[in-house]
C-alpha cells in the first residue's frame, strides 16, 4: 500500500488556491451581463438605483447603437426631440416613422401580435392608451414620481407604462385680418354662433374632444352642444399641423380645438393670427412609452428617460412654446398654476372610443 505524506505547508497552499477559485467564480458570477430582451429589460431596470440604472442604460444603448420611434406627431416636432437627444448621445442613430394615431395603433398592435416588433418607442397620446397598452412595455423612468398622478399611466405592476411628458392645451385662433379683436370668439359657447358657419375649421379626430366635453359638462348638456358645433359645417383636417396650415393660408377664418403650440408658432412667425386658451380648457397629453418586444430596449428606455427629464423639457419649451409640461421639477413659459381649470383628455376604453368614432363620423364627417 502506498502512503502519501501531505505537509501542512502544502495543505495551506491547497486551501488558499481553493479559496481563490471560489472568490474568482463569485466575481465572475457578479458580473453577469444585464438581460438583452424586453420585457426582462424593463423589470431589471426598474429595480436599479437611479445612478446605476442610467449607467447601465447608457452602456447598453451605445452597444445597441440605434432605435426606431413610431410617432403620431409632426416631423418638425420630432426633429426637435431627436436632435436634442442626439446632441447628448450622438453614437445612437434614431429613425423616426411618422404615423397618424390610428395607423400607429394598428402597426404597434399588429407587430406585437405577430411577434415581429420593429419599433422601439411609441409617442402617442392619452386617448389611445387603452388601445395600445397591451403592446407597451413597463419601464418607469427615474422621473416618474415627479409627475402628478394624472400625467402617468399604468405601472410596473400593470405590465405597461406611459408618461404624458407634455400637454397641448386647446386654443381658439383666428385671422386678425378677417376677424377683429372685439368680434373674435373666445369660448366654445361663442363659436357656436351661426355667424361662424362655414368660416371655421377643426381636426377630424374629435373623439377626445367629445369625451372631454362630456367629462366637463355632463352628457345631457354636452351632446346638444356638440350638435351645435357640428352644425357649423366645419372644414375638417387630419391633424393639428394641417389645421394650423389651413388657418395660416386663409382656408378658414377661425380654428378651434387647435393646440396652443401651433398658434404660438404661427404668431411668432408673423402670421396674421391671434388666439386665446379655449374655454372650457381641455388638454391633450402627449405620451411616450417603450414598446414591448423592442429589439433596442435600452436605447428606447434611455430616450424615454431623457425625454421625461425636467431639464430636457425646459430646453424643449424654449425651442417651441405653447405647451404645458408634466414634470413638476421644471420651470416653463406657461405656468400651470396660472391657468383656469385644465381637464386632461382621458384614456378612452375601446368600446367607448368606437362609439365616439361613430358619432364623429355621423355628426361631422358625413355632414356634407
State the pLDDT at residue 148. 86
Q: What is the pTM of this model?
A: 0.78
Domains 40-166+285-335 and 168-283+347-365 share a fold: yes
Which single residue is written with the C-alpha cell 402627449?
Answer: 286
Task: Render each residue's pLDDT in the chain as its tens digit; 368 residues.
Answer: 444 444 545 545 554 555 455 444 444 444 578 998 888 999 999 999 999 999 999 999 999 999 999 999 888 889 999 999 999 999 999 999 999 988 999 999 999 999 999 999 999 999 889 999 999 999 999 999 999 888 999 999 999 999 999 999 999 999 999 999 999 999 999 999 999 999 999 999 899 899 999 999 999 999 999 999 999 999 999 988 899 999 999 999 999 999 998 999 999 999 999 999 999 999 989 999 999 999 999 999 999 999 999 999 999 999 888 999 989 999 999 888 888 788 888 888 888 989 999 999 999 988 75
Whole-angstrom Cα distance, residue 112 to residue 36? 18
Q: For the chain, how many residues are written?
A: 368
State the pLDDT at residue 28. 41
Domain boundaries along the sequence of the chain: 40-166+285-335, 168-283+347-365
Whole-angstrom Cα distance, residue 142 to residue 230? 44
Q: Where are the beta strands (DSSP E) in 211-365?
A: 235-237, 254-259, 273-277, 281-290, 324-325, 342-344
State the pLDDT at residue 141. 98
What class does CATH assign to 40-166+285-335?
alpha beta
State the pLDDT at residue 140. 98
168-283+347-365 is a CATH 3.40.50.720 domain: no
State the pLDDT at residue 18. 53
Whole-angstrom Cα distance, residue 17 to residue 22? 9
Cell for 108? 404597434
Contact criterion met (CB below 8 Å) for 246 and 201: yes
Amino acid at each position: 500500500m502506498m502512503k502519501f505524506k501531505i505537509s501542512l505547508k502544502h495543505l495551506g497552499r491547497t486551501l488558499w488556491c481553493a479559496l481563490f477559485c471560489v472568490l474568482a467564480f463569485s466575481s465572475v458570477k457578479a458580473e453577469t451581463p444585464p438581460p438583452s430582451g424586453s420585457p426582462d429589460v424593463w423589470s431589471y431596470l426598474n429595480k436599479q438605483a437611479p445612478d446605476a440604472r442610467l449607467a447601465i442604460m447608457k452602456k447598453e444603448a451605445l452597444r445597441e447603437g440605434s432605435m426606431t420611434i413610431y410617432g403620431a406627431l409632426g416631423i418638425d416636432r420630432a426633429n426637435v426631440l431627436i436632435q436634442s437627444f442626439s446632441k447628448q448621445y450622438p453614437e445612437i442613430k434614431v429613425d423616426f416613422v411618422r404615423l397618424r394615431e390610428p395607423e400607429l395603433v394598428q402597426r404597434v398592435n399588429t407587430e406585437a401580435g405577430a411577434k415581429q416588433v420593429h419599433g422601439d418607442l411609441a409617442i402617442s397620446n392619452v386617448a389611445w392608451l387603452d388601445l395600445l397598452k397591451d403592446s407597451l412595455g413597463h419601464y418607469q423612468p427615474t422621473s416618474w414620481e415627479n409627475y402628478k398622478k394624472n400625467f402617468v399611466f399604468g405601472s410596473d405592476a400593470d405590465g405597461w407604462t406611459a408618461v404624458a411628458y407634455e400637454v397641448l392645451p386647446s386654443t381658439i385662433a383666428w385671422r386678425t385680418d378677417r376677424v377683429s379683436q372685439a368680434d373674435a370668439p373666445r369660448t366654445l359657447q361663442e363659436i357656436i354662433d351661426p355667424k361662424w358657419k362655414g368660416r371655421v375649421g377643426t381636426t377630424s379626430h374629435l373623439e377626445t374632444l367629445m369625451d372631454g366635453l362630456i367629462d366637463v359638462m355632463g352628457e345631457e348638456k354636452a351632446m346638444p352642444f356638440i350638435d351645435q358645433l357640428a352644425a357649423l359645417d366645419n372644414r375638417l383636417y387630419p391633424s393639428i399641423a394641417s389645421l394650423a396650415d389651413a388657418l395660416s393660408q386663409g382656408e378658414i377664418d377661425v380654428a378651434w380645438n387647435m393646440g396652443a403650440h401651433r398658434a404660438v408658432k404661427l404668431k411668432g412667425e408673423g402670421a396674421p393670427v391671434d388666439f386665446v386658451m379655449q374655454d372650457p380648457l381641455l388638454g391633450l397629453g402627449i405620451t411616450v412609452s417603450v414598446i414591448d418586444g423592442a429589439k433596442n430596449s435600452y436605447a428606447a428606455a434611455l430616450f424615454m428617460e431623457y425625454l421625461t427629464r425636467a431639464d430636457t423639457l425646459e430646453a424643449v419649451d424654449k425651442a417651441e412654446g405653447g405647451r404645458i409640461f408634466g414634470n413638476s421639477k421644471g420651470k416653463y413659459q406657461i405656468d400651470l398654476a396660472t391657468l383656469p381649470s385644465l381637464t386632461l383628455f382621458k384614456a378612452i376604453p375601446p368600446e367607448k372610443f368606437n362609439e365616439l368614432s361613430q358619432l364623429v363620423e355621423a355628426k361631422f364627417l358625413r355632414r356634407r
